[in-house]
Amino acid sequence: MVDDTRNLKVALVHDWLVGNAGGERVLLDLHELWPDAPIFTLVYDEQRAPAWTRSCDVRTTSLQRIPGAKTHHKMLLSLMPRAWEELNLMEYDLVVSSCMSCCKGVLTRPDALHVCYCHSPIRYVWDLYYDYLAGTDPVRRAAMRHVIPRVRQWDFAAAQRVDYFVANSAYVARRIKKFYRRDAKVIHPSSPVLSQKASEARGYYLVVSRFVGYKRVDLAIEACNRLGRRLKVVGSGGEEEQRLREMAGPTIEFLGFVPDDEMADLYAGASAFLFPGIEDFGLTPIEAMSAGAPVLAYGEGGVLETVRDGHVGLFFDEQTPESLVACIERFEANGVVCSREEIAAYGQTFSRERFRDELGGYVEELVRREGIG
């Protein structure tokens, strides 16, 4: 526990605990900073949430009692504002939320401090609203047109309750400023530092992703199809899986789910890691670099802050197969400045220790500044 908050009553707030992804990694870091703090969350699925949560004091909202809420919680968007506001956090001096949806809307005491680590303003409410609207069926489209404007108004109001925002990237900080009219300090999240040592490339490219449209795995497959290059694809699930499998040529290999210990070896052996989508931050490029693999990425979003173009990876300028093909050919002709050992050393600077020191130190500074406790 960080020193200046040890005498405070602390609560952690997280949107939902029904899986184990990047947001849950941040929550684990928060839990290790404040191990005695209860975790408030919309719904909790003990079987799908990270195993470490089973020993925690996890408290849910009233939506936990709705049948099917654990798997269809996103369909309950119109009910989320009220559910979060029903939680009574008046006993807590410090509230730290990990938010990509509505949990920043909890009510706190006037003299309490609420720090929100924001993964993103709600994408389907703000900047991706029209994309989601176009991609759904007529019934859901009508429901979205009815619900989203009201949620947008509430979400803006909820953001004004937060005392201080922390963004996971400057890319997200700009959206916080745009949609919420709030400034945010940027502290990049941690990424697992792989124990696998950098090794010689073994002649394949690598993609690690869920099979959803905005990840643009199709670009990596099409580029490797055209070049006849080996591509290993890690991941499963999502509406794109069947289409991606159908478009894959003979050099494309789908590996499905891969355990962490095997994943480290896959990263270490890749000629390069392909990252054709746009992410708010992007954890998988960090994982790849920490194992020594260069990153070939579309040059937009969080990777602009983590991948040093020409040194540890290369950017391509358009989300097209042609642009990625040209990037791969440029990489094969010229490589990058840094060795695989240097790339690994750089990737490992995004450690959990660094994140906890930065975030914990910032919260301590805010506690002192505001005279909390």
Q: What is the pLDDT of residue 311?
A: 97
Query: Rounded to whole angstroms, how far apart are CA atoms 41 and 24?
Result: 12
Are the C-beta atoms of residues 147 and 77 closer than 8 Å to each other? Answer: yes
Q: Where are the domains of the chain?
A: 3-190+351-370, 205-347
- pLDDT tens-digit map of 305-357: 999 999 999 999 999 999 999 999 999 999 999 999 999 999 989 988 999 99
CA proximity to 188, closest of 210, 209, 173: 173
Q: What is the pLDDT of residue 91?
A: 97
The token duo for 222 is: 């099409």
The verdict on pTM exceeding 0.85 is yes
In the predicted structure, residue 71 carries a pLDDT above the cut 70? yes
- SS3 for 121-185 is CCCCCCCCHHHHHHCCCHHHHHHHHHHHHHHHHHHHHHHCCCCEEEECCHHHHHHHHHHHCCCEE
Query: Rounded to whole angstroms, how far apart are CA atoms 166 and 163?
Result: 10
- pLDDT tens-digit map of 229-274: 999 999 877 778 999 999 999 999 999 988 877 898 999 999 999 9
Q: What is the pLDDT of residue 136?
A: 83
- pLDDT tens-digit map of 362-372: 999 999 999 98
As a CATH number, domain 3-190+351-370 is 3.40.50.2000
Share above pLDDT 70 across residues of the chain, in percent, rounded to a whole number: 97
Common-topology check for domains 3-190+351-370 and 205-347: yes
> How large is the average pLDDT for residues 56-85?
92
- Quick one: CATH architecture of 205-347? 3-Layer(aba) Sandwich (3.40)
